[in-house]
Structure 1
Amino acid sequence: MRASIEDYGLVGDCRTGALISSDGEVDWFCTPRFDSPSVFAALLGSEEHGRWALAPRDPQATSTRRYDEDTLILVTRWETATGVAEVREFMPIDGGRVDLVRRVTGISGHVEFETDLRMRFDYARAVPWVMQAGTDEGPALRAIAGPDAVIVRGVALHADGNVHRGFFTVEPDVTVDLTLTWYHSYRPEPEPLDVGSALTHTHDWWTHWAGRIDHTGPHHEQVVRSLITLRALSNLDTGGIVAAATTSLPEQFGGARNWDYRYVWLRDASLTLEALVNHGFLHVAEHWRMWLMRAIAGNTREIQIMYGIAGERDLEERELPHLPGYQGAAPVRIGNGAVDQYQGDVIGETLCGLEAARAAGLTELPISWSLQKALIEQVEANLERPDNGIWEMRGEPRMFTHSRAMIWAAFDRGVRGCEVYGLDGSPDHWRELRDRVRAEIDENGVDPQSGRFVQYAGTTEVDASLLILPQVGFCAYDDPRMLATVAEIEATLMRGGLVHRYRTTTGVDGLAGDEHPFLACTFWMVTQYALSGRRDDADELMTRACATANDLGLFAEEYDVTEGRQAGNTPQALSHLAFVRAADALASTS
């Protein structure tokens, strides 16, 4: 059985990343990008689907771990009966190549390590051709399958069937470096990495980046860690920001609610953009804005809700039946069928993110504002169209209230662009459309009996996405309709002290099964409490929600309160950015 989701830490180079368990197993690694096929996929099956284990041979060895200061360098300290050693794992950043490094250093006594390498390319569909490739510089192992190749250096590895094993011992001040380098199989293999220099550069890069974070207030350390995680999910080359590092980690253990989140959702990326801009990283907004213009290109009528990391459009959802899934949760999916959905809220979130950048000082370019005006035209063209909503419902499209409010926000940001920032446009027409949408929500998005906002027109159900309405300025946090909505969410969507997205038993999502509380929704409730005068409740809920992070400060998508374990894809950008916004709300009311 694979480790629990919270047992994994992330190392990465702002292009891709590896998930490493607390027992020293690299169980998930796609390269050269997050959305590339995997080299190691044991996370979604067993060690036979690809894994790189590194741990002391002592079966009683114990480990503790941390990130090295404000970096993405993972440090695991192993204590055994014979000694203590540390493993520093990282991916060198900004070096133009893909390396996964595992540096083992003796601290006291002596520690014998074993490494077990099982390479399975293309989501474990390709067993590579493996050969010894050692030189005078040391032992090495080369593996090739189709377009992919890796070379593993550092210790002698010997074949045992389709597995390669090696053994070594470290003592005080003795260091052994294991490196795995990916490259195109039709290119020359890269030169050996200077691990010492790469470690220093990577440490300096991350600490310099984190040192620019503009934040004071409660939960500072977790805010820094969350922003580092969001940066790790942002591509250095393209500017694309993925929703999570993984695919098909289950929302319901053993169930079929398993989705691929390794793509760039306009919604999630826009919200990530706001979190980074609000804490001093305006250049990230400029990079992402260029990504957006390339992805959408010249035809806003064909806008998608998500794209590949470089703006690719073909994200067809497929199943991989040869992978049994995380602890048996099948099917495993790559691609995402929601790419074909109409989600009415997406353009509103995009325009809100771009306005946040504009307010922070990002100069508006004629081409970028022209794109935003074209997006507003698309909102108008689809004004009466029901949608699948923020939660990507696979049931019948509806007039979801959250989506309608984000349509309101799209027109509102257009008006503000003209009136506040002096940009050209049609403010009078947009204001008329904005007011029309508001009137519609007031009439159809509010239950006349209880006075609360509802999930969609025609129901009395609520939805945690309604907590976003005051965040985008549709209403005040203490609006009576909002307070009534909060009371209903507390009564029907809070379980184990955390917040669910909606009641799956109503059948509106078109899927079988249930799910666990959604961490982003819980942090939205913290924000609501804090900014509506319920500071004690906000602090209490924030403490409870922060406790769902793992020992490294990483949040997954959901949390199983019954079993006390993380669920869903990880690390999840939406969870981290919602946490940052909640921390900001607490800081503003302290």
Structure 2
Amino acid sequence: MAALIEDYALLSDLQTGPLISREGSVDWLCFPRFDSPSVFSRLVGSDEHGHWLLAPSDPGAAVVDRHYVESTFVLQTVWEASGGRILVTDFMPLGDSSSSLVRRVTGLAGSMEMRQELRIRPGYSTVLPWMSRVIDSGPTASLVLLAMAGPDAFALRGPHLPQAHAHGHEGTFLVSEGETVDFELAWFPSHRPVPAATDVDAALEVATEYWSRWGSHCRQDGAYGGAVKRSLLVLRALTHMETGGIVAAPTTSLPEDFGGPRNWDYRYCWLRDAALTLESMLTHGYETEALQWRNWLLRALAGDPEQMQIMYGVGGERELPERELTHLPGYADSKPVRIGNAAVSQFQADVVGEVMVALERLRMAGGKEDHFSWALQQALLGFVEKHIDDRDFGLWEMRGEAQYFTHSRVMMWAAFNSAVRAVRLHGLTGDVEKWEHLRDRLREEIMRQGFNRSIGSFTQTYGGTQTDAALLVMPQVGFLPYNDEHMLGTVARLEQELLTGDGLLLRYRTESGVDGLEPGEHPFLACSFWLVEQYARTGRHGEAKTLMDKLVGLANELGLLSEEYASDEGRMAGNFPQAFSHLTLVRAADAMHGVDRLSLAVEEPE
């Protein structure tokens, strides 16, 4: 059985992101990329669906400390038992085309027997690999436990390799004070030779130095500076080193409602998330990374704008068909377990706006357009113009009927507003008169059809009465000031309709059936962070601090946040760690710290 979501730690080699439980079990790992088939699937299954446990044999042993080495993803866990004390250091080496996971056990006091269980189950646990022991041909001539499964191969190295037992491998070994025992599990293409053993000391030094150096560049101050730095590190950890694509989360099918069907695959790159990541990186001093994300965006979008998707594979792949893995019981019996994502084919009218806003912020920070990037943006504006009268499925990827979502219409306005400013303020060329006309037409329409005067609030859809937390984005993109009376009325309505008893904000009311799914969902953390920003920007500092402290306090001891929080059960829900939660944490902290994120309010030169 999988652990509580908040009991997991993330590792990263900027290619993939395994999850390790507090109990020392690697329950989720996709080799070699974030969106590759998993080799350990216990997170959404059982022991037999793949895991790698390394923990004391003594059932009385307890974890007394677990932390990342400062500003890194080098995880250290200290165990204590009556006979001794040990340290387990888990990390992924960086800078190699191969991918591996290293687990180091160090005796701190006395002695302790360690237990190891290994169940390698490639292909989302559909393949039982051929296991064998081979002698490494390298200079050490060491014994390697080898697993072969079609195109994939896995090699476990270490001085105490587990023995075959019940379609897996198990074993024990003793660690005494001052002794160090290293294990490495490496993935490699099965047609290639077994990769050479990693120099663990050197690899640990490189990984620690890389993450520490990256974190040291973070511009952050104030009471929430530590949470901002860890959030930016998470965003970096979820980024593929070579392509620059950022995944929404490293997991699939962690439920938004335990036991329900709201289980989605988030191991892909949403244009929206990539654009918002670019903004956060710019604000906190990572201009090089922002340009890398811009280049990923441009490559992914290249081609006929009519073929634009809302998400892509890590390398820009377009084919992400959704299917159900019926052989996996799901996390907390939440079915189905899904891979792929059917939302890839949806029309979401807000996406181009997010991209245009992010690229404008890059211009404002000094980023230069080239012939490719501005031409592509103009083509995207043509796509928005062509579909300006089309209904869409909205930010939340509704699986019901297409609607005129107010947030989507605002983001279409933002796309044209950014284009107008590109010409008027930044000297680029384009049909600015047409873009101004379309921008102004959308503004008039939104104020007329998206604002319900009888309730004094913007609504989720045109002509509706229900609100939506996505409406909090309106002042963020400059559509209205934060303290505009229309926004203040909307915030009051959101507080009345979507605020839960413990002060967290729902996305929308699922009972309405607008999303085409059974009702039931927990508060979406990003929405509550948006509310913090709104409070902070309108002088409600006490309420902003109370809510921000609560939200930051929901992170686990490693600073990681999931998608949602189940307040009634006091536990995290949804995919983990979630990029969107960490992105909005950064925004909220910036608002609390008084950081100027480059104004996008409508302005024209004289």
For Structure 1 versus Structure 2, the TM-score category normalised by the shorter chain is: over 0.9
In structure 2, give the amino acid aligned to 1:20.
I
For 2:240 and 2:377, the matched residues in 1 are separated by: 23
Q: Deviations over 1:394-451 (max 9, x none)?
A: 1111110000000000000101111111111111211111010000000000002122
Provide, for residues 16-62 of structure 1, a one-character-per-residue CA deviation record: whole Å limited to 9, x for no partner.
01000000000000011110001100000101000000100110111
* Aligned twin of 2:548: 542
In 2: Cα distance, 1:513 partner to 1:56 partner: 43
Moved more, 423-432 or 133-142: 133-142
- How far apart are 1:139 and its partner, in Å? 3.2
SS at match of 1:411: helix
1:355 to 360, 373, 382: 360
2:87 aligned with 1:81: no
Aligned-residue RMSD, C-alpha: 1.1
Match of 1:308?
313
Q: Deviations over 1:48-77 (max 9, x none)?
A: 000000100110111121001110111111
Distance 1:407 1:373 in 2: 14
C-alpha distance 270-203 of structure 1, shift in aligned 2 (>3 A): same
Checking the alignment, whether the CA contact within 8 Å between 2:349 and 2:408 is kept in structure 1 is yes
Moved more, 70-79 or 283-292: 283-292
2:408 — aligned with what?
403
- Show structure 1 runs of 5+ residues with no match: none
1:153 correspondence with 2:157: yes
Deviates more, 1:411-420 or 1:128-137: 128-137
Question: Aligned to 1:184, which of 181, 184, 189?
Answer: 189
1:9 is matched with which residue?
9
Distance 1:169 1:7 in 2: 26
Provide the C-alpha distance between the structure 2 equivalents of 1:416 and 1:217, rounded to a whole number of angstroms.
32
Residue 399 of structure 2 is matched in structure 1 by 394
- Aligned-partner residue type, residue 311 of structure 1: G
Q: What is the rounded CA distance, in whole Å, between the counterparts of 2:537 and 2:141 in structure 1?
A: 61
1:464 — aligned with what?
469
* DSSP 3-state at the match of 1:2: coil
Is 1:584 aligned to 2:590, yes or no?
yes
Q: Which amino acid aligns with 2:550?
A: R
2:113 match: secondary structure: strand
Contact 1:127 1:145 (8 Å CA) reproduced: yes
Tell me if 1:201 matches 2:206: yes
8 Å Cα contact 1:531-1:589 kept in structure 2: no
- C-alpha deviation, 1:166, in angstroms: 2.2
Cα distance in structure 2, aligned partners of 1:549 and 1:561 = 13
What amino acid sits opposite 2:47 in the alignment? E
Percent identity (aligned): 52
**1:124 corresponds to 2:129:** no
Partners of 1:480 and 1:243 in 2: CA distance: 34
Q: 1:557 is aligned with what amino acid?
A: E
Supply the distance in 1 between the matched residues of 2:595 and 2:286 (Cα, whole angstroms).
Answer: 23
Aligned to 1:533: 539
Q: Are 2:574 and 1:568 equivalent residues in the alignment?
A: yes
Q: 3-state DSSP class of the match of 2:528? A: helix
2:378 to 373, 381, 405: 373
Conserved 8 A contact 1:255-1:513: no
2:483 pairs with 1:478: yes
* 2:278–2:294 CA contact under 8 A, matched in 1: no
Within 1, Cα distance between the matches of 2:224 and 2:74?
Answer: 21
Query: What amino acid is aligned across from residue 581 of structure 1 in structure 2?
Result: R
Q: Is the 8 A contact 2:513 2:519 kept in 1?
A: no
Q: Which residue of 2 aligns with 1:506?
A: 512
Secondary structure of the structure 1 residue equivalent to 2:67: strand
Q: Map of 1:128-139 to 2, 5 A cutoff? A: 128-135=129-136, 137-139=141-143
> Aligned pair 1:326/2:331, yes or no?
yes
Report what 2:521 is aligned to.
Answer: 515
Q: Deviations over 1:222-268 (max 9, x none)?
A: 11111000000111100111100100000000000000000000011
1:216 aligns with 2:221: yes
SS at 2:205's partner residue? helix
- For 2:179 and 2:470, the matched residues in 1 are separated by 53
Pairing 1:92-107 to 2, within 5 Å after superposition: 92-107=93-108
Which amino acid letter does the alignment assign opposite residue 151 of structure 2? P
8 Å contact kept, 1:530–1:589: no
Matched AA of 1:96: S
Residue 589 of structure 1 deviates from its aligned partner by 7.5
Letter of the structure 2 residue corresponding to residue 350 of structure 1: V
Q: SS where residue 458 of structure 2 aligns?
A: coil
Q: Which residue of 2 aligns with 1:57?
A: 57
Question: Following the alignment from structure 1 to structure 2, what is the Cα–Cα distance between the partners of residues 431 and 542?
Answer: 38
Secondary structure of the residue aligned to 2:517 is: coil
Give the TM-score normalised by structure 2.
0.96
Supply the AA of the counterpart residue of 1:108: A
Partner Cα distance (1:517, 1:83) in 2: 42
Aligned partner of 1:450 in structure 2 is 455
Separation (CA, whole Å) in 2 of partners of 1:165 and 1:535: 55
Q: Work out whether residues 252 and 516 of structure 1, in 8 Å CA contact, stay in contact via their aligned partners in 2.
A: yes
